[in-house]
Structure 1
């Protein structure tokens, strides 16, 4: 497995380009020596990729074991690594942190075992690295994901690397969206600790919205760019706990006035349409948008009702997405549109419905997926209810809507939703991002307009042209073995069935 340099020129160039776009010109190359300030007490939370976790504990009958201070969230959730320590470059406004904890991933059914240790996050190179041990051999500083670094350092989009695809055993993961990454300071430095940097450590570098990765992201915009500006014991108003969202002022129940729903349908299906044998396109309209790199979709303008005492809500969203492919003589064997999406949650469970138009025939209010949230509680902060990473499982009706392409019970991309309860409530930033481990970057379609991702013969989102990705498979190749030929044949059968249906009509 080829390992890239810890400070790859490509990642550094991307970080510089991002910083330039935000006005953080301090990331430009300089001959002046950087003033490095020690940091400690950080935590890193990252799930690698939700579909991979599902594969390991499901199809592979395997397990994850967190060790040495690391932990995993309930319900096969994300992993948290603790006691992060490192340095903050007060000249470039970047940080480099290493974290305590290990993660063992193993499957006796598919005969693999690997361990991740020394997990690191470097905002300068914009990547996550780890030491990877397989078959008794350890490779250090393997770059697992590129990170879209933000000032808050919460829910940062990640893109899995080729090295990650090699480690995880699936070529389809190269370039695919990973789970979102969050890096926060959990332990504040002691007032007597001589290593604790003060607000005066960087007096000439005031923080502003253009600062890309300052550890003081939880502080107000007027706080100094020094990492302790939001962490100084003498500045409680700038600490993360003091900046937490106040209790909601909205009533316990009422009407939803706005909101967004982020959902990628299924990553392997998007890859199949755009980069697989379908050689097609994905188009959004009616206010919906799609994240860059054939990412997830965002539906907007939510309307509905909520009840935080009963932990229930119903929200309908505007926007449409169309999947089109297998063109022959101007006609398409695949032409599927989803619109009128509506999500319901009641005590943590619910449904996702949509109007489905396939080859010109429309079925309304089709229950595409059963929804299951990590928590039953619906809590409003700043008059906004946000529920992320809702598990979506394909229903019988949903399987029929996809022409039998996936079996009922298949896991779809996770659903993220945010709904505003009052007119002046501010929804979270990042329309079109979608975390769910399925997309990253800004939307290629804009709100109120139309976006399109067009396919070709190459792969831009981690698929393998003409290979397993052409069937919509998202299972690592090592797990499929001789079943691959059967899967390809099944995919061809679906296309043939759609074409026959079109001819009959």
Structure 2
């Protein structure tokens, strides 16, 4: 669709830089373009780079979906399943209202014969006035929806339109395959002028942040969402993550004691909230594993298949050294891939307990005892931790450290059966520890209350098509999992050593490929090893 046809949708946004220069160039252009709108200058030679969302790309090309991305008509994709670039951006710059509107060439198709979906995206257009990125969308063999609001784009900083934050719209969530995408943070978006072109390069400043309510609605059949829990989530998820409950960033509860807490000593209480990995939780209760999640012994799980909270911390702290070491009560069990027949065993049976976190100067470890298919491996270092600050500050006799990044270790990768690589980002860790018995911990911290919780069993989708060798696994147009590694298979069998203990890693993929019969073979192997 041409920029002229969509000009009526623009509304004023101030440009702080290059306005005078752009105005002069616009006037010169208008002198040679009779009949053009007043103070409007043509733009050409722009490129738009955007990856939609990394977890969606990894889901499409992952081991269960076995899908592909195809680019044409001027679009391209970076190596390693990277971001997409749309070219030949043309449009107008209105020097009176200080807005620009650009339309880009390129068609992008995501498709999976196994899960039976095809999504076509084209005619991406960026409007700095509304802060909206639109596209023409076609789902499967349905009609093409024109100019569908696909993402809300953050305001540029001066003349720099690179790395702009994006939020996927409700329409995008429907099109991509699940409500979990709606309102989620997409990949950063960049609009740059290709070298060698001569049209004006206006430099926008903060555009209006309000966006028109989307009105277009694409076809509703869709590919699996990045975290399917059996009950669609209605809460947007921020960032390449995915599922997080609202968590306090600081303690607001005063201590019952008026005396300041000592700089070092024993931890009186505390809790740690961690979701392990949102895509893994979704996989366990989703249509492939058809499993369940249970939190017990002092651990709890937030509603909507959310994060886990481990309670009753013990340990020590030293605020002067910026160090703490805490152990937490609670156990979380994941079960999936149950064999057929009464009393059929589970191909995936993983328990995490005795969770411990340590920080020293902002860096640390997350450790747990891992039990897979009955084989227990104590003291497995699952993740490397990195806090935003090297300091530990007590407020109200409570130390609170939120949004600690957790990166999968080599031993942790074995605990996940090799389906997540070492270095994969896990869910962030949030912890609060009380330094005195009278101190009150922040409420919530990502949970929906104490006690034990159980994640529901996901509903099964339709049977996937045949792909590769054998028959494709159970698929669904609304189920499934996205992740930074393209989904997760079944095995949690691993130890802190170099030798895995339960051979389920390849088994989950085999379950999808060959059916439930593999589960019995796994059970026999476990009995043999025992």
Normalising by structure 2, we get a TM-score of: 0.47
Using the size of structure 1 for normalisation, the TM-score is: 0.49
Structure with the largest fraction of helix: 1
